[in-house]
Amino acid sequence: MAVIACDSCSVRNRALCGALSRDELESLNAIARFRDFSSGENIHAELDVQNYFANVISGVVKLSKSMPDGRQQIVGLQFPSNFLGRPFGEQSPYVAEAATEVRLCTFNKPRFEALTRNYPGLERRLFENTLSELDAARDWMLLLGRKSAAEKVASFLLMVAERLKDTGCHSDTAPNTRTFNLPLTRADMADYLGLTIETVSRQLTKLKSSGLIEIENFRTVVVKDVGRLEKLAGTTSL
């Protein structure tokens, strides 16, 4: 059995590839290629005409939509192990931009789809993945439409803590504590939460003053009491 790159992949067991047989994995590995992006780069523009699929290996990718006058809304965040790209030859109707330094494991789209035809389990995984994204989008609709600024920010911190788990960015000992680096600037957080930069900043300050979180260098967040933060977030289900 040949040793392949996937064997040492940091997101292997959580990504789409996790469910593949050895055969399938080797076929997939044969068409895989790493690509690196620096913060702010437009990923669709770089990967020619979106003729690709990809897994996020490290970093965070934001998917966003804008209005003609410049107002922007982030409609999805792809964390390590998440999938990127649109099935069925269509164009993705969002802008994909690296929110941090990003490493992708990319697949040539026609060749990936050829694999899909041989391994129907792959298409099913893709489908299930899309259903999860739909659920996440609708959860976020509840947040955007009905939550207060305080609830939004609390929900966001919990979501990031959850999705950054198992990515090695953690160093938590206490069970009710979470430590992580924010992958987004205040501006991005605002665009994700439907708020302004100032409001996000003020809510973070409030959380700090109340002793619920600590922030170092504007980026490293320590949640001191996950349970209490969940209460503030209004829903447990994000």
Q: Which residues bind a second copy (CB under 8 A)?
A: 63, 65-69, 71-73, 75-76, 86-88, 90, 93-94, 123-124, 126-128, 130-131, 133-135, 137-142, 144-147, 191, 193-194, 234-235
186 binds, among DNA, a second copy, none (CB under 5 to 8 A by kind): DNA
Task: Rule CB under 7 A: say whether 150 interacts with DNA.
Answer: yes
Angle between helices 186-193 and 149-164 (to 10 degrees): 110
Closest contact distance (angstroms) between CB of 104 and a second copy is 21
* Per-residue binder mask for DNA (CB under 7 A), 165-194, x = binder: --------------------xxx------x
Please report, for the chain, how many H helices and E strands are present, in that order: 8, 10
Angle between helices 22-30 and 109-118 (to 10 degrees): 160
- What torsion do the CA atoms of 193, 106, 95, 61 make, to the nearest 10 degrees? 20
Task: Rule CB under 7 A: say whether 132 interacts with DNA.
Answer: no
Cβ contacts of residue 159 below 8 Å, gap of 6+?
A: 238
Measure the CA–CA gap between 139 and 144, rounded to whole angstroms: 9
Q: Which stretch binds DNA (CB under 7 A): 26-34, 142-150, 160-168, 222-230?
A: 142-150
Closest contact distance (angstroms) between CB of 163 and DNA is 19
